Structure 1
Amino acid sequence: MKREKKENEIALFGTSADPPTYGHQALLKGLLTLFPKVKTWASDNPIKQHGAPILKRREMLNALVKTISNPHLELMQELSSPWTITTLERAKELWPTKDLIFVIGSDLTSQIPTWVQAKDILQKARIGIAPREGWPMDPLAIETLKSLGGHIELLPLKIPGAASSKVRNNTSPNDIPREILPMLFEQNLYGLSAKK
């Protein structure tokens, strides 16, 4: 099903980018086909142990954004916060008249009700859910979000199941876009080095 781009919309996609994978790349490219503007940033997830400091993750995400090379995609690190509510408040200040769509992967759908000020988050932006391979949509979780006042949109995308956690756990570079690999090798991130 095709989605009509509406000029007043901005898609917001924060990610741990720990490290960025083909999944992140596919999602950002997919969002550009659906929305007139896409903003992304590296964030600290308060319930995760990160494999690299946020400045390194921002640098890797920025490299990915540059390889996609689309003027409608922008890395906006100033939106980054461990708390989604803070990110959305910053976004509302920057674009008070825009329709904000906060994008998550289908794997996070059931987590939103546990987030700090979840009800306020659902009032400040629509939630765009991108289906990730291996994480089917959870109708019950979607209904829960709607019952909390959320406006949910299932995005017509197919995102590969490449996961940053696989890279961190297996030190396998297969899921990492080749433009980012040199950075990981040079800085010996995630146990990867040019000698392997």
Structure 2
Amino acid sequence: MGVTDHLCITVLGGSFDPVHRGHVALAGYFAKLLFPDQLRIIPAGNPWQKKNGLRASAQQRIDMLRIAFAQQAVPTVIDEQEIRRQGASYTIDTLRSLRAEIGPAASIAFLIGADQLQQLDTWKDWRQLFDFAHICVASRPGFILDPAHVPPEVAREFVRRAGTPEQIRTTPHGLTYLTTNLAINISATEIRAALQKGQFPASLIPAGVLDYIKLHHLYQT
């Protein structure tokens, strides 16, 4: 892919254990908002904040991501760099690597949910994330950047850096965008608990992914 002044890549990282409809909706929302040239999905290798480890193998998580995102309108790449990396997976290292790969001019929009925003100040070198990417957050209706929900220093940074979709698409990094009209609240922890009880929550998991989970008896022991 050649780098142009307005190349825009949206980046979705996570454990994806399992991938669910919330992940697909988050990527789809920003696909309509930013018209990215590529969606880069980055499954975590060894996420340092996950104390109990991951239930599905790296290959199973990759397989489920391929199924879940097969119908995306945006060209989609599953980037395995965190899985290949030895040691803990830190977002700052991933974004630094991605920036080195695609060059200084392209826009990188890193997509997260409000639950991740609420603990952003615990991430390694979180302020440096803006040196490599924009941060775009999707939340439920009524969510606000107040001290009861978001650490004050994170809220201040988000307000100070607020940009428009057009600015995010056409500049490389450093801006924020918060949308509060994505009414999705899905927990992978709750999904795993349901699957362990023999329940198959079709409303929460893409149909093909649910078939894969059943076929491989994932999360059921």
- Shared fold (TM-score greater than 0.5)? yes
Residue of structure 2 in register with 1:16 after alignment = 15
Counterpart pick for 1:154 among 178, 185, 189: 178
TM-score (norm 2): 0.73
Q: Which of 154, 164, 169 in structure 2 is aligned with 1:145?
A: 154
- TM-score scaled by length of structure 1: 0.82
CA distance in 2, matches of 1:163, 1:144: 26
* Long gaps (5+) in structure 1: 1-5
SS in 1 for 2:92: helix
SS in structure 1 of the partner of residue 207 of structure 2: coil
Q: Residues of 2 paired with 1:119 and 1:163: CA distance?
A: 26
Residue 57 of structure 1: aligned partner: 61
Question: Which residue number corresponds to residue 29 of structure 2?
Answer: 30
Contact 2:121–2:151 (CA under 8 A) maintained in structure 1: no
Instruction: Give the Cα separation in 1 of the matches to 2:93 and 2:113.
Output: 20
Instruction: Give the helix-richer structure, 1 or 2.
Output: 1
State the number of aligned residues.
185
**CA 1:162–1:147 in 2, change beyond 3 Å: closer, same or farther?**
closer
After TM superposition, give the deviation of residue 101 of structure 1 in Å: 1.4
* Equivalent residues of 2:143, 2:180 under 8 A apart: no
1:83 aligns with 2:107: no
Let me know the Cα RMSD of the aligned residues: 2.6
- Identity rate, percent: 21
Deviates more, 1:78-87 or 1:14-23: 78-87
Distance change (3 Å), C-alpha of 1:112 and 1:73 = same
For residue 210 of structure 2, what is the aligned residue in structure 1?
181
- Secondary structure at 1:191 match in 2: coil
**Aligned partner of 1:117: which letter?**
D
Aligned to 1:73: 76
Q: d(CA) in 2 for partners of 1:142 and 1:127?
A: 16
CA contact (8 A) 1:109 1:138 kept: no
- Cα distance change on mapping 1:136 and 1:156 into 2, 3 Å: closer
Q: 1:163 to 1:188 in 2, by over 3 A?
A: same
CA distance in 2, matches of 1:157, 1:29: 13
The answer for the alignment partner of 1:3 in structure 2 is none
Deviation at 1:89, TM superposition (A): 0.9
Q: Is the 8 A contact 1:30 1:157 kept in 2?
A: no
Deviation at 1:76, TM superposition (A): 2.1
Structure 2 CA distance for partners of 1:132 and 1:74, relative to 1, 3 Å: farther
